[in-house]
Chains A and B, each alone.
Chain A
Amino acid sequence: MSQVGTVPREVPRAARPRTRGQARPRSRGQSPVARARRRMYWPFITPALVVYVAFFIGPALASVWISLHRWRGAGDDMTFTGLDNYRRLLDDDAFVAAFANSLKILVICGVGIFALAFALTIVLRELRWRRALRSLLFFPYIVSPIAIGVALGLLLEPDGLANSALRLVGLGGLAEPWLAPDRLFATILVGIVWVTTGFYVILLMTGQERIPAYYYEAAELAGATPIQQFRHVTLPMSWDVVSVAAVLWVINSLKIFEFVYAFVGTGDSPPVQARTIPIYQFIMTTGGRSPAYELGYGCAMGVVMVVLVSVLVVLLRRVMRRDAIQF
C-alpha cells in the first residue's frame, strides 16, 4: 500500500512474491475443502474443455489442414496442394491490400480511439452527468453495425445531411462526396472510431472508478492538472484495464467485417480499396456477388489472421507488461 498523499509507484518486480516454479503442495497436507476442490476439478472443467475443443481447437486445426488443400466445400473431395495457398496469398494484390487495410484500421483507428477515449476519460471524470454521457457515448456500440453503416451511408451521401449541414453553415466548400471510392476507406476509418470509442471509454472509466478518490484529492492538492492527474494517477493505477483494452482492440480491429460491408452498400461487395482480411476471406469463399468457393484459400487467410493476432497480442502484452499495483 502506498501512503496517502503520495502518488503510488510501481512495485519493483523483485519484490513480487514468487509462486511460479515452487513445488506444488501435496494433497495430503491439504484441508478437506481443498481436497474436495481438487476432486471436483475435472468434472467441472471437462464440459467446458469438450466444448472448447469441439468448437474452437478442432475447427482451428481443421482450418490449418484445409488450408493445405484446394476444396470448394460442397460434396467434393479435397486436393492436397501443400503450401500453394500461402504462396498465392503473397502474390495476390487484393489480399495484400486487404491485409494492409486491416493493419491501417488497427493502427490508425487504434490511435484515434485510444486518444479520444483517454481524452474523454479525463473530461468525463470532472462532469456531473458523466454516467448519462457515458451511456450516450456507448450508444453507437450497441446499435447493430449494419444499421449504423446504412445510416452513415445516407448521412454522407452527396446531398445527405452532412453536406447539407456544411452548406447551411456556409462551409459548402468542405462538402465532399464522402462515399466516393477514393474517400471511402478514410470515411470508414472515421466511422469505426466513432462507433467504437464509446466501448473503450466505458472500459477505461471502469478502471478509473476503482481508484480511490483520495488519490485524486491528493493530486489536486499537489496542484496537478487534470492531464497530470491522468498521467500519474489514472494511467498507472488502471494500467491492467488499459492493457486489456489494447488487447481487445487488436483482436476486434482485425475482425472488422460487417461495419465495412454495411457502409459500402447493400447491393455489392466492397471495392478492393476498402476490403479487410475477413471481407476478402468472405468473397473468396462463400460470399459477395461472385463468391469463389475457395475454401482452402479462405482457411489460409484464417490461419494468417490467427498468427497475426497471436503475434500482435504477445508483443503487446510484452510491451505493456507492468506489475499490478495494489490499492
Chain B
Amino acid sequence: MKRLNLSGYGGRGVAVLAAATLIGGLAGGCGPAKPTSADSKELTYWSMWKQGEDQQKVLQAAIDGFEKSSGVKVKVQWSGRDVLKQVAARLNAGDVPDLTDQDGAAIAGNLGAVDGVRGLADVYATTIPGESKKISDVIAPGLVASYKTKAGEPFVVPYEVFGSTMWYDAAKHPELAANPPRTWAEFITVLDAMKAKGRTPLALDGDVKSYDAYWTTWSIIRHGGPGLLAKAATDKSGDTFDNPAFLAAAKDMEQLIKGGYLAKDFNGTKWPTQQNAWAAGKSPTDFLLMGTWAPSETGPQAAPGFTYRSMPFPTVDGGKGNSAAEGGVIGFAVPAKAKHSDAAKKFIAYFMNGERLGKISSDAQNLTPRADVKAPATLADYAKELGNAGADVYLPSDNAPAVAPQWVSNVWEPANADFFNGKLDAAGFVKRLKDESVKLGKQG
C-alpha cells in the first residue's frame, strides 16, 4: 500500500525551519547560482520516495514519458524521506541534484532557510504541457504562501496535499456519515452515547506525543485561530499563554482525558497498535484523529467493509478558528546551485498535467493540489473540508515545529504527554507550558 507516511516525518521538516530562523540573519551568504545553459539534455532528481512506493511508481512512469517526449535523460535516485539531508550536505560542495521533493516545510527548513532553493515563479507562469492553463491557475496560492524566497517567489510546486482530520468507519457508523457532530457539545454527546455502550471511542497511539498534540493543537486552533500556537512557541515572555484560548482548549482536552473516552492503555502501547486496532475493529474505538495518510497506513489492517470517512474537528463556541483546516504540501523544489534547472523546471511542468498528476490520486490514493483532479474516495471528505476552509488553512502543527523545534521537543510534546497521562490538569498544563517557555526563552 502507498504510504504518504508523514507520521514519522511530518513535523520533522517543518521543524527545521526554526533552527533556520535562529540563524536566518546570516543565511545570506549563499547566493543563487549562475544561469544554466538554455537546453540541458539531462537532469538529476533525488526523491523522497523509495523504490516500490506508489508515488515512486507514478513518478517513474512520468519520468519515462518525459524522457521520451523531451529527450532529456533523468538520472533519478530514490533516496527516501531523509533526501533533503543529503541535498543540504551537498549545498556546501555545490554538487547538488537539479530537482528534489519533500514536505514543503522540510524544504523550507533544510534548503529555503539558507537560500538553497530557486524561486519558481517562472514555473508557475508556464502553460502546462498538453493543457491551456498555467500552473498558477490550478494551484491555490494559499498552499505555498509560506514557502517563498526572499524575493517573494514560491519555491515549492506541490503535487500532494495532506492534513489531519477526524476519521471513522461509515460502515459501522452510518449515523455519523448522515449527521456528523459539528460542535464540541454535539461531539461530547456522541462520545457519551458510545461510552454508555461500553466503548472507549477515541483511538490514540499515545506513545507518539505529537499524536496527543494533534488533539491539543486542533483545540487551540478552534479556540484561538491559526498561528496562535506558533506565536506562543516563540514568545519568550510566555505572555501569549495568557490568551484564554489556551485554557479553554486545555479544559476541553481535560474533559476527554478524564472522561474515559480514550482507548485503554493508549499510552502503554507502541505505534501503530492503537490505530491498527481501530481499523481492524479489535478495540472498542470509533474515532481516529489522524493525517490523511490514515486510510493507506491502516488499510491493510482494516476490517472487511471498513469505509473510511472523515469529519472536521468539532467547532467551539465563539472559536476564532472554527472554519480552519490543516493543510500541508509535498512538492518539488530546485536547489539554488542546480546545473540543469531548466530541465528540472520542464519536468515539473510536465508532471503537473492533470492526467499525470491525477495518478497521485487514482494510483497513490492521495490528494493532489489541483481542485480539478478528482480526490480519491477516502479523501473526498477531507478535500471538502480543505476547500471550505478557503484561505483559513493552517500549516501542520500550526508550524510550531518549524519556528521552534527545541520548544516542541522539550516543552510542548513532554507537557502534552504528561497532560494526556493524567499528571496535569488543564490549568497545570497551561502553567507548565508558560513556565517552561519562559525558561527556554532565557536560554536563548
Q: Which residues in A have some Cβ–Cβ distance to B below 8 Å?
A: 70-77, 79, 84, 88, 91-94, 153-154, 157-159, 177-182, 264-269, 271-272, 283-284, 286, 288-294
The contact of A266 among B22, B267, B270, by CB within 8 Å, is B270
Q: Which residues on the B side are within 8 Å of A75 (C-beta)? A: 29-30, 88, 91-92, 114-116
| A71→B30 contact, CB < 8 A | no
| B410→A179 contact, CB < 8 A | no
Q: How far is the CA of A269 from the CA of B401 in the complex (A)?
A: 13
- 7 pairs from A and B in contact (CB 8 Å cutoff): A71-B23, A74-B91, A157-B270, A265-B271, A290-B12, A290-B401, A294-B22
Over the window 13-25 of chain B, the binary record of Cβ atoms lying under 8 Å from chain A Cβ atoms (1 yes, 0 no) is 0111011101100
Q: Which residues on the A side are within 8 Å of B7 (C-beta)? A: 267
The contact of A271 among B91, B114, B401, B414, by CB within 8 Å, is B414
- Shortest distance between the CB of B222 and any CB in chain A (Å): 23
The contact of A267 among B18, B22, B272, by CB within 8 Å, is B272
Task: State the majority secondary structure of interface residues on A.
Answer: loop
| A290→B270 contact, CB < 8 A | no
Task: State the majority secondary structure of interface residues on B.
Answer: helix
| B265→A91 contact, CB < 8 A | no
Q: How far is the CA of A153 from the CA of B92 in the complex (A)?
A: 40
Q: How far is the CA of A286 from the CA of B208 in the complex (A)?
A: 19
The contact of B23 among A76, A91, A179, by CB within 8 Å, is A76
The contact of A180 among B268, B271, B442, by CB within 8 Å, is B268
Known: A265-B207, A290-B15. A157 touches B443 (CB 8 A): no
Q: How far is the CA of A265 from the CA of B269 in the complex (A)?
A: 9
Q: Which residues on the B side are within 8 Å of A72 (C-beta)? A: 19-20, 22-23, 113-114
Query: Which of B11, B18, B405, B436 neighbours the largest number of chain A CB atoms within 10 Å of its CB?
Result: B405
The contact of A268 among B27, B210, B273, B406, by CB within 8 Å, is B210
Q: Which chain B residue lies CB-closest to A71?
A: B23
Known: A75-B30, A76-B23, A292-B18. A181 touches B114 (CB 8 A): no
Q: Is B209 interfacial (CB 8 A cutoff)?
A: yes
Interface hits, B67-97 → A, CB 8 Å? 85, 88-89, 91-92
| A181→B417 contact, CB < 8 A | yes
| A292→B405 contact, CB < 8 A | yes
Q: How far is the CA of A303 from the CA of B442 in the complex (A)?
A: 23
| B410→A272 contact, CB < 8 A | yes
A-B pairs with lowest CB-CB distance, top 6: A177-B268, A290-B15, A293-B19, A75-B91, A74-B88, A158-B265
Query: Which of B12, B16, B22, B207 neighbours the largest number of chain A CB atoms within 10 Å of its CB?
Result: B207
Q: Is B185 interfacial (CB 8 A cutoff)?
A: no
Q: Which residues on the B side are within 8 Å of A177 (C-beta)? A: 265, 267-268
Q: Is B109 interfacial (CB 8 A cutoff)?
A: yes
| B22→A70 contact, CB < 8 A | yes
Interface hits, B199-228 → A, CB 8 Å? 205, 207-210
Q: Which chain B residue lies CB-closest to A75?
A: B91
- Shortest distance between the CB of A158 and any CB in chain B (Å): 4
- Shortest distance between the CB of A94 and any CB in chain B (Å): 4
| B409→A94 contact, CB < 8 A | yes
Q: Which residues on the B side are within 8 Å of A180 (C-beta)? A: 267-268, 421
Q: How far is the CA of A292 from the CA of B15 in the complex (A)?
A: 7
Interface hits, B407-428 → A, CB 8 Å? 408-410, 413-414, 417-418, 421
| B110→A74 contact, CB < 8 A | yes
- Shortest distance between the CB of A283 and any CB in chain B (Å): 5
Q: Which chain A residue lies CB-closest to B93?
A: A75
- Shortest distance between the CB of A265 and any CB in chain B (Å): 5
Known: A72-B23, A76-B23, A93-B439. A157 touches B268 (CB 8 A): yes
| A288→B443 contact, CB < 8 A | no
Q: Which residues on the B side are within 8 Å of A286 (C-beta)? A: 85
| A79→B272 contact, CB < 8 A | no
Q: How far is the CA of A291 from the CA of B17 in the complex (A)?
A: 9
Q: How far is the CA of A91 from the CA of B409 in the complex (A)?
A: 16
| A288→B409 contact, CB < 8 A | yes
Interface hits, B264-315 → A, CB 8 Å? 264-265, 267-273
| A268→B209 contact, CB < 8 A | yes
Q: Which residues on the A side are within 8 Å of B114 (C-beta)? A: 72, 74-76
Q: Is B193 interfacial (CB 8 A cutoff)?
A: no
Q: Which chain A residue lies CB-closest to B91?
A: A75
The contact of B401 among A74, A153, A289, by CB within 8 Å, is A289
- Shortest distance between the CB of B403 and any CB in chain A (Å): 11
| B443→A88 contact, CB < 8 A | yes
Q: Is B198 interfacial (CB 8 A cutoff)?
A: no
Q: How far is the CA of A267 from the CA of B30 in the complex (A)?
A: 34
Q: Which residues on the A side are within 8 Å of B115 (C-beta)? A: 75
Q: Which residues on the A side are within 8 Å of B61 (C-beta)? A: none
The contact of A157 among B23, B92, B269, by CB within 8 Å, is B269
- Shortest distance between the CB of B157 and any CB in chain A (Å): 21
| A70→B23 contact, CB < 8 A | yes
The contact of A94 among B88, B91, B270, B410, by CB within 8 Å, is B410
Q: How far is the CA of A150 from the CA of B202 in the complex (A)?
A: 25
The contact of A179 among B12, B207, B272, by CB within 8 Å, is B207
Q: Is B125 interfacial (CB 8 A cutoff)?
A: no
Over the window 38-72 of chain B, the binary record of Cβ atoms lying under 8 Å from chain A Cβ atoms (1 yes, 0 no) is 00000000000000000000000000000000000
Known: A77-B29, A93-B439, A268-B208. A292 touches B271 (CB 8 A): no
Q: Is B444 interfacial (CB 8 A cutoff)?
A: yes
Q: Is B391 interfacial (CB 8 A cutoff)?
A: no
Q: How far is the CA of A272 from the CA of B273 in the complex (A)?
A: 22
Q: How far is the CA of A181 from the CA of B205 in the complex (A)?
A: 13
Q: Which residues on the B side are within 8 Å of A93 (C-beta)? A: 410, 436, 439
Q: How far is the CA of A153 from the CA of B207 in the complex (A)?
A: 11
Q: Which residues on the B side are within 8 Å of A284 (C-beta)? A: 406, 409
- Shortest distance between the CB of A271 and any CB in chain B (Å): 6
Q: Is B130 interfacial (CB 8 A cutoff)?
A: no
Q: Is B318 interfacial (CB 8 A cutoff)?
A: no
Q: Which chain B residue lies CB-closest to A264?
A: B207
- Shortest distance between the CB of A153 and any CB in chain B (Å): 5
